[in-house]
Amino acid sequence: MLNVTARQDLMSKIIETLSVVVEDARFDFGENGLQVRVVDPSHVAMIQMDIDAAAFDTWELDTTSLGLEIRKIKELVSLGGPTDLIEMAYGDETGVLTVNLGKIDRNIRPLDNSTMTPPTLPALELPCKVTISGADFTQALRAARQVGDLVNFSIDENSFTVHVQGSTDSVTVAFDKEELQHIECDAPARSQYSLTYLVPLSKIFGNLQSVEIGFGENYPLSMSFSFHDGAAEIQYFLAPRVENDM
């Protein structure tokens, strides 16, 4: 049994975040909240999402795991406004998830859970960390995307720099220590990542007060941020693009 209700703005952020990486996902509904772990087919990007039950308007359920096509949920959620309620109901007897928005009921047959094993998250000790406002980081990424597909992050103890070198143009956005909320780096480092994954995700964290970034010399990128007054926590991992990958 599952009976869950959430505001449209919460459901929209959940779905938009996951859709950056995958087309379908296993939603694990537990006593204390929702957990989703996904990795994209090429194993370049990975997301762990934890949403506290308190973020939902209704949370009445037995522990339930549902494999869902992101597109189907996104189609219905997109029809609502931020304060509209999205109701989700599932029963083992029917095997169907009913998603309600106002007068609209959409019945969705879940996917086979046996084919959707959540990935194991990496245990990373990243040597460099930055905390920056979501708006500043989003602006830097979008400026970088105007020139190329691959972005270089550089860091030392006093600055964090976003740089892209295109065929004819380049973009550099540099942040001094005083412009950052936090910076921690024992030795200068540089690493390159795909903007294909980063720019779409910026739609989620663009208006947030802070985004925590961790990386090192050719290390994977880790990004952590939260929304809905901290009840929704996202950790995102992105593999680096090293020279022989290009």
pLDDT tens digits, 13-34: 999 999 999 999 999 999 999 9
CATH of 128-245, one of 3.90.78.10, 3.70.10.10, 2.102.10.10, 3.40.50.1010: 3.70.10.10
Predicted local confidence at residue 15, as pLDDT: 96
Residue range 38-47: mean pLDDT, rounded = 94
In CATH terms, the fold of domain 2-115 is: Proliferating Cell Nuclear Antigen (3.70.10)
Over range 107-121, report the average pLDDT: 89
Q: Give the model confidence (pLDDT) of 162-209 as tens digits.
A: 999 988 999 999 999 999 999 999 899 999 999 999 999 999 999 999
Question: Would you say how long the chain is, in residues?
Answer: 246
pLDDT at 30: 97
Tell me: pLDDT of 245 over 60: no
Taking the CA atoms of the chain, what radius of gyration do you get in angstroms? 19
Which segments of 44-188 are extended strands (E)? 45-52, 58-61, 64-69, 85-91, 96-101, 104-108, 128-132, 150-156, 159-165, 170-176, 182-185
* 220 pLDDT tier (thresholds 50, 70, 90): very high
Report CA 32 to chain centroid distance, whole Å: 20
Residues 150 and 240: their CA atoms lie apart, in Å, by: 10
Contacts of 96 (CB under 8 A, 6+ apart): 90, 107, 108, 109, 110
pLDDT band at 244 (very low <50, low <70, confident <90, very high): low
Residue 243: its pLDDT value, please?
Answer: 59
Quote the pTM value. Answer: 0.92
Say if residue 246's pLDDT is above 60: no
**Tokens 């047959």 identify what position?**
109
Cross-strand bridge partners of residue 69 = 24
Residues of the chain with CATH 3.70.10.10: 2-115, 128-245
Is residue 8 predicted with pLDDT exceeding 60? yes
Residue % of the chain over a pLDDT of 70: 98
Residue 122 pLDDT exceeds 90: no
